[in-house]
Amino acid sequence: MISLNKHAIVVGAGPCGLSAAIELERIGISCTIIERGNIVDAIYRYPTHQTFFSSASLLEIGDIPFICKDLKPRRQDALVYYREVVSRTGLDVHPFETVEAVERTEDGFVVRSRHDRDGSKERQADYVILATGYYGRPRRLDVPGEELPHVAHYFKEAHPFYRQRVTVIGGKNSAVDAAIELEKAGAHVTVLYRGDGYSPSVKPWVLPTFDSLVRHDKVRLELEAEIVRIEPHHVVYRQHGEEHRLETDHVLAMTGYLPDHGLFADAGVQVDEETGVPAFDESTYETNVDGLFIAGVVAAGNDANKIFIENGRFHGQAIAETLRERNGVTL
């Protein structure tokens, strides 16, 4: 097996981070993966019965087949698959550890992290790959009452909302999926969406089900609804210049997520203020900081609909090829 006596730290153990580590180890660069949850934590946080948009083969990494009995895998199928990937490849994953700083030095990088029980840690690396995803930072409404205890930015499953009045804010896939599951579980669902019609990003095989629920008054849909504030028992929204107060027991703000660029800025990576896109070479995925790369959806900035597992999984190959050439490795 090739060994370059070089070491990389990958921040984030999602599919794209895992893929990058696999590709780097193939060219002789050892990897440590640091993850603040456990592997593929974002997928774990998906709704329990989530079905992927893609077929199983498009979610494969490391040339390890993803065998699934259905055309489109579910959340649980993916969790089993990626656990198997880590087991087969022997990747060095450090879960439940949060990276707090990445510092460029003359010899490479110092990465500082913290584990809840074990305290602070410091590691040296020749290269760093930031594959932090975006699911950990919800896109906020920035309205009064958003911090109330009955307001959530994540939806896991519908059972706790049986016979409850639930207001779903948003109109894209996560909001539509939640509304369907909630209605199925016996919740009384109202969807408030600022758009003037169905979002074109909604999965085509899901939209007819949602549309049927709306047309048969099983889900109430209010379009062009701007949230004004959230109260303990109401959501106040403005529609066509008029304010409305909607009685509610729970609020699910399914408004999307944003990347957290704190590590990027601290490490010296330039980030476009408007788009949220870090400065990087699109052919190598190396940022403006030598030796610091990005992988996965963080390369898309604030527009998470540009990069998915399907295309982000190949970023590691580009990074590995760059470092292979840089280190004169012949395979």
DSSP conformation class of 280: B
The terminus-to-terminus CA distance of the chain in angstroms comes to: 11
pLDDT at 149: 97
Name residue 268's amino acid. G
Question: How far is the C-alpha of 310 from the C-alpha of 296, rounded, in Å?
Answer: 10
Domains and CATH numbers, the chain: 6-137+257-326 (3.50.50.60), 151-253 (3.50.50.60)
* Average pLDDT of span 25-47: 95
Q: Which two tokens stand for residue 283?
A: 């052919």
Name residue 284's amino acid. T
Question: How far is the C-alpha of 185 from the C-alpha of 182, rounded, in Å?
Answer: 5
pTM for the model: 0.89
Of 129 and 263, which is predicted with more confidence? 129
Of 311 and 223, which is predicted with more confidence? 223
pLDDT at 257 over 90: no
Q: Which helix (H) or strand (E) covers residue 133, if one does? A: none
Q: Which residue has the tokens 């996560």?
A: 174
**Least confident piece of the model among 26-30, 116-120, 225-229, 235-239:** 116-120
* pLDDT tens, residue by residue, 94-105: 999 999 999 999
